[in-house]
Structure 1
Amino acid sequence: MTPELFGFLGIVYLFALMVLRTPVALAMLITGFGGMYLLEGPRAAGAVMLTEGFSAVSSYSLIVVPMFILLGNVSSQAGFSRALYDAAFAWVGRFRGGLASASVIGCAVFSAVSGSSVATAVTLGRVALPEMRRLGYGPALSTGAIAAGGTLGFLIPPSTGFVQYAVLTEESIGRLFVAGILPGLLLTALFLVTVWLVTLRDPAAGPRGEAVALAERFRILGRAAPLLSIIVISIGGIYAGIFTPVEASGVGAGLVTLLAFVRRAITLEGFRRAVLETVKTSAMLYMVVIGANVLNPFLAVTHIPATLGEAMVGLHLGPYGTLALIILAYVVLGMFLDGLSMLVVTIPIVFPVVIQLGFDPIWFGVVAVIVIEMGMITPPVGLNVFVVKGIAEGVPMTTVFRGVFPFLIAMIVALVLIIAFPAIATLLPDTMFG
C-alpha cells in the first residue's frame, strides 16, 4: 500500500470517528498516533506524541486563548453584556427592527471580548430574545439575528479561529487580529442591512421600539463605557503597537476582573464559575491543538498535502478556480462539522495549496474564517442554530434556519467582496506591520 493511499484511508477513518461522535481532539490523536505507529513504528509514534504534544501546549502565543476567554466569561457573569445590549438598543431601538439591529451590534461588540461564536450567541441571546418576544418580534428574525450575529465572534478579534489558524500555519496572531477588523465591520454592516430589508418586506417581523431621549441614551451608554474602555485599551493596544496579543489578553482579563469586583458586579462564586468555565473551554481548545499537531506529521509522512496540491493544480482551474473548489469543499464540510473541527482538519491540507497558488496567507485566513462562519448557521449541523434553539423556547428548528437564511446571503456577499477586493482584509495589517 502506497503512503498516499494509507493517508487517504487515515482521513476517511478520521471523519468516520467524528461521524460516530468521537471528540475531534481524540479523533485526531487516534488517527495521527495510529497512522504513525503503523507506518513508522512505535518509537516514532511515541516521539511524535510527546514532542508535538508538548510543543503545542507550551507555545507562548496560545496564552491569548484562556485570557480572552476569561475576559468574556467574567464580563458575562458580571452582567456587562447586558449593558452593551441596552446601550445599542437605546440608540437604534426606535427604528424598525431596532431590537434585532441592537442584537447584531451587541454581538459585534461582545465579540471583541469573548472571541467565541457560541459564547456570543448564548450571552446576547439570553438578554435579547426575551425582549424581542415581549415586543412581538417574529421568531425567525429574532433567532436569526442572534444566530448570525454570534458568528461575528469567530471573525472579530480576539478570535479563537484566528488563534488556531495562526498556530496551524505559523502566521502572526497580531496580523490576523488586525486583518479581521474591516471584514468584521463589513459583515456587521451587511447584517444591519439584512435586518432593514427583512423588516421592509415584513414590518410586523420587527416593530419599532420606544424612542429614548438623547440625554438618556448617553446615560445608558455611560453604563457600558467601562467595558468599552477595556476593549479599546486591550484590543486598541495591539493595533497601536503598545501590546503584543498575549500582553493585551492579560491586560484585558485583569482589567475586567478588577472592574467587576470594584463595582461589586460579581461575587466570588460568580468569579469561580467564570474561571471554571474558562478552564473547561481552554482545555478543550488545547486538546484540539495537541490533536492537530499529532495528526500533521502523519499527513506529512503520507504526502497527502503535496499530492492534493498537485491534483488541484493539475485540474488547470487557475488560482481562483482552485480557490472556489476549496471554498465549495468548506461549505460541504460545514454542513457536518463544527467550525473549529473543520479548521484544524483542513488547514494543514489546503494551506500549502493556497501558498502555492500565490495567495496571501493572512487574506486566506480571513476567507477561511468567514466560510467556516457560514457553516455555523447552515443545516444540518449549524452549531449556532442549535445553541439559539436551546435558549429560544417553543421556536421550531425550521423557523431558526429560515431566519438565518437572509444573513447567510449577507455572508456570501461579504465573502465575494473580500475575494474581489483583497485589500479589505490586507490593508490594515500591511499598513500597521509593514
Structure 2
Amino acid sequence: MDIYASALTVFLLLFFLLGAGLWLFASFLLLSVVGLIVTVGMDLGRVGAIMSQVMWRSASAWELSAIPLFILMGDIIFHTDMASRLFRGLSPWVDRIPGRLIHANIGGCTLFAAICGSSVATTATIAKITVGELRQRGYDQNLALGSLAGAGTFGLMIPPSINMIIYGVLAEVSIAKMFAAGVIPGAILALSYSGYIMLRCLLNPSLAPGAQRADWRDRFAALRDLGPIVLLIVVVLGSIYTGVATPSESAVMGLLATVVMTLASRQLTLCIFATALMNTVKTSSMLLSLMAAASFMSAAMGYMHVPQDVSTAISSLHLHPFALILVLGLVYVALGCALDGVSMMVMSVPIVLPLVVAAGYDPIWFGVFLVVMAELGQLTPPIGFNLFVLQGMTGIGLSRLSAAAFPFFVITCLVGALLAVFPGLVLWLPGRLF
C-alpha cells in the first residue's frame, strides 16, 4: 500500500482544492508547496528557490511566444468579415452534397482553425454567421448546432493549435512536428463529420432543404472570398513546413499578414485593435500562469516521487498497451466533464507521459491523442466550452445542445480509437517533413 500513498495523497488534495473553488493555478502552487514541505521536508526558503527557478524557466520558454501572437491574430479576424466571406465562399461548393450548407460548418471550422488555434474562437466566429443563416433557410437546428459544436473543436487539432504548443513545451517535443502530426487526424475528423451529415440527410432529406443550384462560374467566383483565409494558411503553415520559419516566427508572419489585410480592407480600427490586445493579454496571462504553475507542480511531484510511484503501480498491473490507452481515455473523458483541455493537459502530462512512453508509444502520437481527449471535453457538460458558446449565442438549453453534439462526440471517440490502432496516421507526416 506504501507505493500508492504519495500519489493518492496528491490527487485527493488536488481534487479537494478544485472542489473548494480555488483557481487552478493557485491549486497547483499550494499543492506543490505543501507537498514539498510536508512530504519531502524542505524548508520554505528552498521551496521558494525551486519555485522561482522552475516558473521563470517555464514562463520564459521561447516557444510560448507564439501563443499570444496566434490569439491576437484570431481575435482581430473575429472582428472582421472574414467569417462571412468564408461562408459565402464555401456555399457554392457544397450545394450539391447531401446536407448542403451544413457542410459549411465543417469546412468553415476546418479552414478557420488553420489560422486560429482556439476551439472557442473557432466555434464563436463560425457560429455568428452560420447559425442564423441555416435557421432562416429551414435547416434542422439540432444537426446544424451539433455539427458546429463538434467542428469547433478542430481549433485544438488542426495547426496552429495552442494546445499543441503547450503540450510541446510540457513534453519537450518539437512543436513543428506536433503541428504536422495534427493534419491527417484533423482531416479524418472533418471527413467523418461530413460523412455522418451526408448519411443523415440521405436518410432524411428534409434535414437540409433544397437550395438554388450553383454553377461552375459561381464556384470559381466564390474563390475570391476564400482567398484571404487561404493566404493566411499558406503564410502560417507553409512557412513552418518548408523550414522557412519556426512556429513562433510563423506566428509573427501570420499576425503581420492579418494586420496588413485588415488595414487594406479598412476593417481594422484603433478600437478593434485595442479590444483584441486586451483580450489577448487576458487569455495569454491565464494560459501562461497555468503553464508556470504546472511546471512547478511537475518538479514538486518529481521530488515527491509521484510519477515513479504511479508508474510502478500501473506497471504492476501488467496492462496491455491498448488497455492502458483505454483506461487513460476513460479517465480523460471523466476529467473533461470538470476541466477544460489545457487544464487536463498541464495537470496530467508530467504523470502520464512517462507511462505512455514506457508502454512503447511515441510522445508525438500521445500529444495528438491527448488533443482528441481535450476535444471530447469541449462537448461534455457541465464544462463543455463549445456548448457554452452556442448557448450564449442561441439561448438554447445546455441539455439540448449536449444531445445535438452527442453523435459528434461518438465520432470523435471512434477517431481516437482509430488513431490508437493505426498510430501511423499520426506519425507519417511528421516523419516525411522533418
Counterpart in 2 of 1:412? 413
Q: Map of 1:368-387 to 2, 5 A cutoff?
A: 368-387=370-389
CA contact (8 A) 1:166 1:173 kept: yes
Kindly provide the amino acid, as one letter, of the partner of residue 188 in structure 2.
L
Counterpart in 2 of 1:164? 166
Kindly provide the amino acid, as one letter, of the partner of residue 418 in structure 1.
L
CA contact (8 A) 1:4 1:303 kept: no
Classify the secondary structure of the residue corresponding to 2:153. Answer: helix
Q: Map of 1:58-207 to 2, 5 A cutoff?
A: 58-207=60-209
Runs of 4+ in 1 over 6 A off after TM superposition: none
Deviations for 1:203-258, whole angstroms, at most 9, x for unmatched residues? 33322333233223322321230231121121111111111111111100111111
Q: Distance in 1 between matches of 2:91 and 2:25?
A: 40
Q: What is the number of equivalent residue pairs in this alignment?
A: 432
Counterpart in 2 of 1:432? 433
- Among 225, 237, 240, the residue aligned to 1:238: 240
Say which is worse superposed, 25-34 or 166-175, in terms of deviation: 25-34
Kindly provide the amino acid, as one letter, of the partner of residue 384 in structure 2.
G
1:342 aligns with 2:344: yes
Q: Distance in 1 between matches of 2:138 and 2:382?
A: 28
From the superposition, tell whether residues 362 and 327 of structure 1 become closer, same or farther in structure 2 (CA, over 3 Å).
same
Counterpart in 1 of 2:5? 5
Q: Distance in 2 between matches of 1:56 and 1:284?
A: 14
- How far has the Cα of 1:3 moved from its partner? 9.2
CA contact (8 A) 2:89 2:222 kept: yes
Kindly provide the amino acid, as one letter, of the partner of residue 276 in structure 1.
M
- Identity of counterpart residues, as a percentage? 33
Say which is worse superposed, 321-330 or 170-179, in terms of deviation: 321-330
Counterpart in 2 of 1:256? 258
Counterpart in 1 of 2:28? 28
The TM-score with structure 2 as length reference comes to 0.95
Counterpart in 1 of 2:14? 14
Kindly provide the amino acid, as one letter, of the partner of residue 402 in structure 2.
F
Q: Distance in 2 between matches of 1:367 and 1:385?
A: 22
- How far has the Cα of 1:334 moved from its partner? 1.4
From the superposition, tell whether residues 401 and 201 of structure 1 become closer, same or farther in structure 2 (CA, over 3 Å).
farther
Deviations for 1:118-137, whole angstroms, at most 9, x for unmatched residues? 11111111111111111122
CA contact (8 A) 1:234 1:252 kept: yes
Q: Distance in 2 between matches of 1:337 and 1:209?
A: 41
Q: Distance in 1 between matches of 2:28 and 2:87?
A: 39
CA contact (8 A) 2:181 2:429 kept: yes
Classify the secondary structure of the residue corresponding to 2:285. Answer: helix
Q: Distance in 2 between matches of 1:349 and 1:247?
A: 31
- How far has the Cα of 1:381 moved from its partner? 2.5
CA contact (8 A) 1:157 1:178 kept: yes
CA contact (8 A) 2:7 2:309 kept: no
Q: Distance in 2 between matches of 1:3 and 1:252?
A: 49
Classify the secondary structure of the residue corresponding to 2:139. Answer: coil
The TM-score with structure 1 as length reference comes to 0.95
Counterpart in 2 of 1:323? 325
CA contact (8 A) 1:96 1:208 kept: no
CA contact (8 A) 1:104 1:149 kept: yes
Say which is worse superposed, 413-422 or 148-157, in terms of deviation: 413-422
Q: Distance in 1 between matches of 2:21 and 2:118?
A: 22
Q: Distance in 1 between matches of 2:418 and 2:7?
A: 36
- How far has the Cα of 1:413 moved from its partner? 2.1
Kindly provide the amino acid, as one letter, of the partner of residue 127 in structure 2.
G
Counterpart in 2 of 1:353? 355
Counterpart in 2 of 1:333? 335
